[in-house]
Structure formats: C-alpha cells, structure tokens
Chain A
Amino acid sequence: MRSHSSRSNRRSSLRRLRHLGIALTVGAGFAAASQAAQDEAETAATSDLFLRANKVIVSPGKAMDNMGLLVRDGRIVAMGSELTAPEGAQTIEGEVICAAFIDPWSVAGVDASSARSDRVDTATRATDALDPYGQDEVLDDLLESGVLMMRVEIGRAAALSGVGAVIRADGAEPVLADAAISARLDTPGLDPVSRVGQVDRLASTLGGAEKYANDVAAYERDLKAWEEEIAKKEEELTEDFKKAKKARDKKVKEAEEEGEELKEKKYKEDKRPRPPKFDADKASLARAVGGEVPMVIHVEEALELRELLRVTRPFTRMRMVIAGGRSSLLFAEELAERGIPVIVTPAPSSAGGAVGEMDPGFALAGELASRGVEVLIGSGATSPVASRDLPLLAAAAVGHGLDQDAALHAITAGPARVFDLESKVGAVRRGLHADLLVLSGDPLSSSTRVLASISGGKVVHQAGN
C-alpha cells in the first residue's frame, strides 16, 4: 500500500482529496497536514480572503506601497492602503503581490497523446483533451511556481492544429475555450524549397478559409435580401388575393361550361439561397483569419519567417502571433510595424549554428523589445513540466537585456492582452479575477519564494503547508 514518507505522497493525496472529497487510508503526519490545508482552502473559497503586501504590482511598471486586497467570490472587490481584514477572513501577508504568471505557450494539463498527435484538424478542441487527473503532479508544481494559467495547444505534430485554450493550472479548468488556432512551420530536415512550399500551403489553406467565410457572409446577405423580397411578395399576394380568387372563380365556371379541366396559373419565385456546405475546419480557421481569435504560428528560421510575413500580408484582419522566432530579429521592423507579438522561449544560441541576428540566443527577447516588438515569454510547449520554469525563463531574459517590467509584462499582462483576457486577468485591479501571487520578494528574482498562489479567488498553494 501507500508509503507515507515521500514528497509525492503529500502531493497525490492532496490532489486526490481535492478531487474526491473522500478520506483515504493515509497515515498521520503529512496526511493530517494536507487534510488541514485542504479544509482551510475549501472554506476560503466560499468566504472572504484578505491579502496584504508592502508592494503591490498593479501592472508591470506600476507599483503601490503597502496595500491590502479583499477577494470575494473569485474577484478582487477592494484595494487600498487603509483596508483592513474583515472579520473571519483568511489573511495572507507577504512582501510583494502581483498578477499570476501566464504561460502563453504550453502543453501542461493536456492529455499527452492528444498534445503530441498529428491527427488533428482545425476544429479539434484543446478543451476536449484536458486531463486534471493524469497530470496532477505537474499541475501541483505549477501552483507552487506561480504559473497559474497556460495557453495550451494540441496536435503538436500537425502542421495545422486545433483550437487552443487558456486553462487554470488548478484542476485544468478552461478560462477561455477558444484562445487561438495554432500552426507550425518548423519541420526539421526539409529542403529549402519544401520549407517555403509549406508556408505557401499554409497561406492557401488560410485563403480557403477566408473564401469560405466570404461565401457564408454572401449567403447571409442573399438570404436576408431574399427574405425581404419574399415577405414583400407575400404581402402583395395577400392583398391581391380577393381579385385572384374572383378571376379564378370565373375561370372555374368557364371551364365547367366548356367541360374542360381548369388550368392553374403558373407561379414562379426566386428559390431560397442555399448555404455553402458546412465545413467545420474552414469555419474554425476562418475565425482566426477574420481576427476573432489569434493565429499562433510556430516558426524559427529566417527562410520560413520571411515567406510567412510576405504571404500573410493580404490577411489584414488576422491577428498573427509568432512563436519561437529564433531569427525574428531580422524582421523586427516589420513585426513592430504590423503589431505581431513574438512568444520567445529564452535559450542559448544553437551550437555550431547561425550567429548574430539569425540566432541571438538569450538576447533575443531583449533585442526584440528594444526594437518595439511586443515580447511574450513562453515555455515552448515541449513538455508539460516546462511551464514550471516560466519565471526563471523570464529572469534569464532580464539577465540578457530585457527590461524588468517588460519581462513581467511578457508573462502576465502580455499574454492576457494577446489572448483576449485583459478584462479578466493579467493585472491587479478591482473587478478583475483574483488570480494572484503573494511573494517574498521581487517576482523575477530567483531567490523569491511564492508564499501563496490564489487561483480564481481560491488559495491553491501556500508555502509551509
């Protein structure tokens, strides 16, 4: 049976209790502690939560000293330096409070086989692949490291994959079910012609989706026009009915007298317009082409990137986001001008590969930002555990020239803005969802500890418990 000494025991029993609400046969010690922590967290979710810190980072670059925050029903309901804890509220104090970290490029919380599959289409949904059970350990790690939200992808082996989602690390619950469509142009080992061909194929698929959207729009216009026309006609026909009936009665009489069969007048009208044949894939992709959801394209090399920027110019409404973008510095000017954000995964330059602007390594994030490109920092969706290191990745970018505030933006307000969650998360403001961190120091310092993680108003991690 279960052993009671390991770190994992504490985690899995905590997680199970959270899912099950049924006490398992676990020993004293850790189990009792985790049970207590659990009870506390459960009651806090339904009652008030009061947070206080010497510094509250409202948004990157904007901090306020000595502030209290009141959290109720999952939202921040009050903020102020004079604010005190209401009676009965759970109180957590720390040095710094900031918005929870959001990994804009992750596979944490997603069923592993769905994440790496190549059998997806643009209508496949990441929300169908969320696995709060199989990855409970990974998700618990995220709660401890302050990464409380992720934009997740599925179908990482497919050129065009499905609808991504923004989810909470706590229970892998979706916050936004359709966060983006993703595509990738990073197939290694292809010859240059095929690599460019891949980009062109993507463009033609996007074009197909755009045409489909136009056809649907045209059909809707035609239908409206037809319906108006038919309504008018029906009104006329109703008005003229008495006359028509009189005429017909006369004809019936005549026909009877002649002993002939009555010939009815032939009625004609325009047929109701037919809708284009429903295509779930195109309908889904059309939303990205039309700018309703962002289009995240994983592309690393200059060859593909140059072609991509060229072929996507006609898609003016599409909100493109570059992921990876090792060589994106070469195109910084265009990216800044077109407002295309880049999700960078800070990493050293590839050994023996290109140098300079082709592959600036850790300096990429800082350089892009200094040239006016919006930088997000993501863990690269290579494995579920990668998301845990998001704050360290941001710190590494700071160490190589990215401004502190820009780095915090890259893992909080930035992802929230790009994935349309600005009105809900990414900052510490009254009315926003309480997805917050209470820290022992500066958010991006490696010596800072996460004292408490609050996810949707619920205390999901507290240091020492």
Chain B
Amino acid sequence: MKSSLSQPLLALGATLLLASSAVAAPQVAKTAVKAGTVITLTGEAIPDGVIVIEGGRVTAVGAASEVQIPWDATVIDQPGMVAFPGFVEAHAARGIDRPNETLDVAPFLDVKDSIDPVNFYFEEALRQGILTINVQQGNDTVVAGQGMVVKPFGMTVEQMMVKPRSGVKISAAPKRGKTRATQAQALRGAFDDLRMYLEEMVQRKKDGDDFDRREALYQGREIEGEAAKGKPLACSGWTIEGFERIPRGEVDEKREPLLRIVEGKLPVIMWCASPMDVHAALRVAEANGFTSTMTLALAPACWKAAPKIKDSGCHVILAGLEDDEIDPITGESVETFVPKVFHDAGIPFALMSTGDSNRSLWYQAARCVANGIPRADALAAVTTTPAKILGLTDRVGKLAKGTDGHVVLFSGDPLDITSVVEHVILDGAHVYDRSKDVRVKQLFDGTRPPGTASDTSAQEEWPGDGDGPEDDDETENKG
C-alpha cells in the first residue's frame, strides 16, 4: 500500500503547498519567467527573454526589453538558464496501476481508472522536463482501452488531466497466444461485429416501424411517419442504410467507442511490431475509415514499411531509434538509424521514451541531431509533432501567447548532455526546483530526506516506498 508519505510528497515536499493551491486555483497566479535564452519553437530563440503566465496561460513571450511584466507577478529570474516549452510524450504505457490486457476487445475501458498519480514515473517525467504525457494502455492487446493526456503533477487524476479520451490503443502485432494471421482476424472481427450489431439494430427498428404501419392501415388509423431520431453513419469505410433511425443513445455503451472510431471521432494509436503489421494496420484502418485519425506507434523494424506509411499520410511515433538486423549469411549486424529514414521520407514523426531507464526525450532528440537530422526537426519530434498528434497544437509543445503556462528551465541547451532541468513551471505554478529535489540530493550529496530513519537497515530501503522504485514501473512495451 502506498502510505501517505508517498513519493511526490517527499520529493516535492517543499513545493507542495504552493502546488496544491496552484492546482486548485491557477487563474489567480501571475508568473513571469526571465531567462538568458528562451526557446519558443515558433521561431528564433530569444536572448534575454521573458515569458508571462496569467491564469495558467502564457500571455506574453518576448525580449525583456519589449515585454511588460505585471507588477503583481511572481518573477523567476534565471539569466544563466534556458527556458523551453517542455517535452511532449505522445505515447506512454506507464503511470498506470496495471494495463488492461486480459480482454481482446475492450474499447470501453479507460486508463483514467488506472492512472496512479503517485507513480514514480510521473515524478521522474517532471524531473526530465516531460510535461505532457499521453497515457495509453499497453501493446499486448487487440483493441484496448482509451487513453488520456495528463501532466505529471497533481494529487488526483482529475488534477492531472489535460485531455480525456485521447484515443484508443489498437495493436496490429500479435497479442500473446495469437499469430499475425489470427491477430488480423480478431481485429477485423471486432469491426465486423460492430457492423453486424448495428445492422441488426437497424433491421429490428425497420421491422418494428413496418409492422406499426401495416397495423395502422389494418385498423384504419392514420399515423404520422416518425422523424428519424439519429444521424446517418459518418464512416468512410462502410455504411448502413437507415442508420438515422437509431438514436445514438440506444447503441450499447460498450460498443459505442468503436462506433466513434469508425466515424473518425475517436483517434487511434496503432501499435506495429514489424513492417508487415503496418500493412495489416493500414488494411483495417482503410476498411473501417479511420486512416486519417490513426497514428502509428512503431517498433524500430517497421522502418521498412516507410513508403507504405508515406502513402497513408499517417503520423508515426517511434519506439526506439535503431534497428539491428543480423545478415543471415555473413552473420554481421546491420544497423539502421530509424528516425533518419522517416525524416528522409518526409513522414512526420514523434519520438517516445522507451525502456525502463530511458525517460529522456532530450537524449533521443540529441541522437537524431548526431545522426544528421536538422536540430529543428529533432526538436519538433519531441514537442510540436507529438502535440499535433494529440490535437494539442495550440496548447503545448511551444511557447506562444495562449499556450498552457508550462516552462522548463534548463541549466544549458536542452539537447546538451550536461544540461539538467533546474525548474519546472506548470500552469504558472513553480512545481519543481532541483535544488529542493530530495531524491537528487540523496543520490548526489548523500543527504537523507528529512524525517527518515538514520539506521543502516532502513538505508537499504527507500522509506515510504513499499515496492521499491523499479517495481512502480512495470508497464513495459512489448516488442
């Protein structure tokens, strides 16, 4: 059980009071961040820049000489630091209590019910400057539950929420116990079932109406034709004649999310572990009319399907940077740097954190630069592109008037290996200060957190953490 001395409380003890009041009523706070450099991602970096946040939103960004700081704003002045909008994680199967991977087809489930605000993952995301996270169910599934975009701070899921129902995870790669053929069959079956269910519904309705009409004729009554109560089906893949007879409320709520998917109202994140999965994914999306609302989450091997992906127009999320193949004849390892393939093909891509020890989108972006991708494109892959994928272009991933009041203050350039996140301002509230980060203090200075036991036996275990840090982070990506 998590005790009341849970990790964020410990780690962020000093800022808790400020934070919780900020979460409760962020609109009263006015904050101004002054930094040596402001990277806005909307244009050139601004030397000696200022960001003004009012009511949780950015109200002004510009050079210190041009921007008026309100007299009642709290000013965070760091002339030696670099201000940055914060990274956006387009897809993470972390921070949840456990993934719902038992049922094959379960689009009615929602990670909202599984997100654990005190999960170590969120604390670490904040420390790495990842301020927007799309939490999705794991990959071992056919049609999984709905995801949710959150920020890595808050005591309840509601406080963390940025965007609910952010999309449904679907997998084209075989779930445990399935082969590629049976996975594709199950996937097709899920949508075929929906279609048959809706067709039957319409038929029943039609039969009932027809009977009523004949009964009235027989009895000599006049009846007025009932006006259709629903809307026609808006699916580009297939259609059902007479669907407007059905009020939407009559559709089984367990199937309703799939209906929203085929009508393009609920985005899809499609996991592919091999290039042939991409073909299967595009086939099912095409047949059911959700290609344009689908984002492909790809294992490195999928780079071979890049031309196919290019044709589809889908955005991609890359889970891993390198693909290693063993040449079957020479036994030599052949390495492909995957983001470069997508960059060269002109396919918009977002990078995602992979692996337990790797929550550093900055590192992946830096690797892209080292492998010949222009810096602006590498930065876009961890900010504006994932924001676009999540439909949050106007809110996160850049610093401009009207965006969410998120600022990360780095000690140096965000892609420099020696830079660290010094401060995080979230919705205008100063929620992270590295100098007060108890975990960092213990790691680097050996300073024990206040109020913890000093005997050696207690030192073995992190107090207040029943599971140990590693155990909190079991939700791994398969493949």
Note all chain A residues with C-beta closer than 8 A to B183.
Answer: 128
Note all chain A residues with C-beta closer than 8 A to B215.
Answer: 267
Q: Are A111 and B179 in contact (CB-based, < 8 A)?
A: yes
Q: Are A264 and B179 in contact (CB-based, < 8 A)?
A: no
Bound-state Cα–Cα, A126 to B101, Å: 26
Contact with A117, one of B179, B218, B275 (Cβ below 8 angstroms)? B179
Shortest distance in angstroms between A172's beta carbon and chain B's nearest beta carbon? 9
Note all chain B residues with C-beta closer than 8 A to A62.
Answer: none
Query: Is residue B328 within 8 Å, beta carbon to beta carbon, of the partner chain?
Result: yes
Q: Are B341 and A22 in contact (CB-based, < 8 A)?
A: yes
Contact with A245, one of B222, B274, B279, B345 (Cβ below 8 angstroms)? B222
Do A8 and B221 contact each other (CB < 8 Å), given the known contacts A22-B344, A133-B304? no
Bound-state Cα–Cα, A238 to B210, Å: 13
Query: Is residue A123 within 8 Å, beta carbon to beta carbon, of the partner chain?
Result: yes
Q: Are A267 and B219 in contact (CB-based, < 8 A)?
A: yes
Bound-state Cα–Cα, A21 to B309, Å: 13
Query: Is residue B370 within 8 Å, beta carbon to beta carbon, of the partner chain?
Result: no
Bound-state Cα–Cα, A7 to B330, Å: 9
Q: Are B276 and A119 in contact (CB-based, < 8 A)?
A: no
Q: Are B185 and A244 in contact (CB-based, < 8 A)?
A: no
Give the number of residues in B that approach A within 8 Å (Cβ atoms): 44
Q: Are A128 and B280 in contact (CB-based, < 8 A)?
A: yes
Shortest distance in angstroms between A26's beta carbon and chain B's nearest beta carbon? 11
Q: Which residue of B lies closest to A23 (CB)?
A: B344
Note all chain A residues with C-beta closer than 8 A to B279.
Answer: 130
Shortest distance in angstroms between A231's beta carbon and chain B's nearest beta carbon? 11
Do A8 and B219 contact each other (CB < 8 Å), given the known contacts A133-B276, A134-B274, A162-B181? no
A-B contact count (CB 8 A): 130
Do A114 and B214 contact each other (CB < 8 Å), given the known contacts A128-B185, A131-B276? no
Do A111 and B276 contact each other (CB < 8 Å), given the known contacts A1-B335, A120-B181? yes
Q: Which positions 218-277 of chain A face chain B at CB distance < 8 Å?
A: 230, 233-234, 237-238, 240-241, 243-249, 264-265, 267, 269, 272
B-contact bits for A1-45, CB 8 A (1 contact / 0 none):
111001111001000100111100000000000000000000000
Q: Which residue of A lies closest to B335 (CB)?
A: A1
Q: Which positions 126-178 of chain B face chain A at CB distance < 8 Å?
A: 174, 177-178
A-contact bits for B291-308, CB 8 A (1 contact / 0 none):
000000000010011110
Q: Which positions 269-295 of chain B face chain A at CB distance < 8 Å?
A: 274-276, 279-280
Bound-state Cα–Cα, A125 to B210, Å: 39
Q: Which residue of B lies closest to A272 (CB)?
A: B207
Bound-state Cα–Cα, A119 to B178, Å: 7
Contact with A132, one of B207, B219, B276, B335 (Cβ below 8 angstroms)? B276
Most buried by B among A114, A123, A130, A246: A114
Bound-state Cα–Cα, A165 to B363, Å: 45
Do A3 and B181 contact each other (CB < 8 Å), given the known contacts A22-B341, A128-B280? no
Bound-state Cα–Cα, A117 to B219, Å: 62
Q: Are B304 and A119 in contact (CB-based, < 8 A)?
A: no
Q: Are A234 and B214 in contact (CB-based, < 8 A)?
A: yes
Contact with B179, one of A16, A113, A278 (Cβ below 8 angstroms)? A113
Do A20 and B327 contact each other (CB < 8 Å), given the known contacts A113-B179, A117-B182, A237-B214? no
Q: Which residue of A lies closest to B283 (CB)?
A: A128
Q: Which residue of A lies closest to B204 (CB)?
A: A272
Q: Are A119 and B214 in contact (CB-based, < 8 A)?
A: no
Q: Are B179 and A114 in contact (CB-based, < 8 A)?
A: yes
Shortest distance in angstroms between A67's beta carbon and chain B's nearest beta carbon? 37
Bound-state Cα–Cα, A250 to B222, Å: 15
Do A130 and B217 contact each other (CB < 8 Å), given the known contacts A3-B330, A114-B180, A124-B185? no
Most buried by A among B179, B189, B327: B179
Q: Which positions 82-96 of chain B face chain A at CB distance < 8 Å?
A: none
Query: Is residue B252 within 8 Å, beta carbon to beta carbon, of the partner chain?
Result: no
Query: Is residue B211 within 8 Å, beta carbon to beta carbon, of the partner chain?
Result: yes
Bound-state Cα–Cα, A125 to B284, Å: 14
Q: Are B218 and A265 in contact (CB-based, < 8 A)?
A: yes
Query: Is residue B451 within 8 Å, beta carbon to beta carbon, of the partner chain?
Result: no
Query: Is residue A280 within 8 Å, beta carbon to beta carbon, of the partner chain?
Result: yes
Q: Are B214 and A233 in contact (CB-based, < 8 A)?
A: yes
Shortest distance in angstroms between A136's beta carbon and chain B's nearest beta carbon? 9
Q: Are A120 and B345 in contact (CB-based, < 8 A)?
A: no
Note all chain B residues with C-beta closer than 8 A to A267.
Answer: 214-215, 218-219
Q: Are B220 and A126 in contact (CB-based, < 8 A)?
A: no
Q: Which positions 120-164 of chain A face chain B at CB distance < 8 Å?
A: 120, 123-126, 128-134, 137, 154-155, 162
Q: Which residue of A lies closest to B280 (CB)?
A: A128
Q: Are A9 and B181 in contact (CB-based, < 8 A)?
A: no
Q: Are B276 and A125 in contact (CB-based, < 8 A)?
A: no
Q: Are B332 and A119 in contact (CB-based, < 8 A)?
A: no
Note all chain B residues with C-beta closer than 8 A to A154.
Answer: 179, 181
Q: Are B217 and A241 in contact (CB-based, < 8 A)?
A: yes
Note all chain B residues with C-beta closer than 8 A to A134.
Answer: 274, 276
Q: Are A269 and B214 in contact (CB-based, < 8 A)?
A: yes
Q: Which residue of A lies closest to B177 (CB)?
A: A119
Note all chain A residues with C-beta closer than 8 A to B24.
Answer: none
Q: Are A7 and B220 in contact (CB-based, < 8 A)?
A: no
**Could you tell me which A residues sit within 8 Å of B by CB distance?**
1-3, 6-9, 12, 16, 19-22, 111, 113-114, 117, 119-120, 123-126, 128-134, 137, 154-155, 162, 230, 233-234, 237-238, 240-241, 243-249, 264-265, 267, 269, 272, 278, 280
Can you list 12 pairs linking A and B with CB atoms under 8 Å apart? A8-B327, A20-B307, A125-B181, A125-B184, A128-B180, A133-B274, A237-B218, A238-B217, A244-B217, A244-B219, A249-B220, A265-B218
Beyond A3-B332, A162-B181, A267-B215, 20 additional contacts (C-beta under 8 Å) are A3-B327, A21-B307, A22-B345, A113-B179, A119-B182, A125-B184, A125-B185, A128-B181, A128-B183, A128-B185, A129-B180, A133-B276, A133-B301, A133-B304, A133-B305, A155-B181, A241-B220, A245-B222, A265-B219, A272-B207
| 7 closest A-B pairs by CB | A244-B220, A248-B220, A128-B184, A8-B329, A237-B217, A129-B181, A245-B220
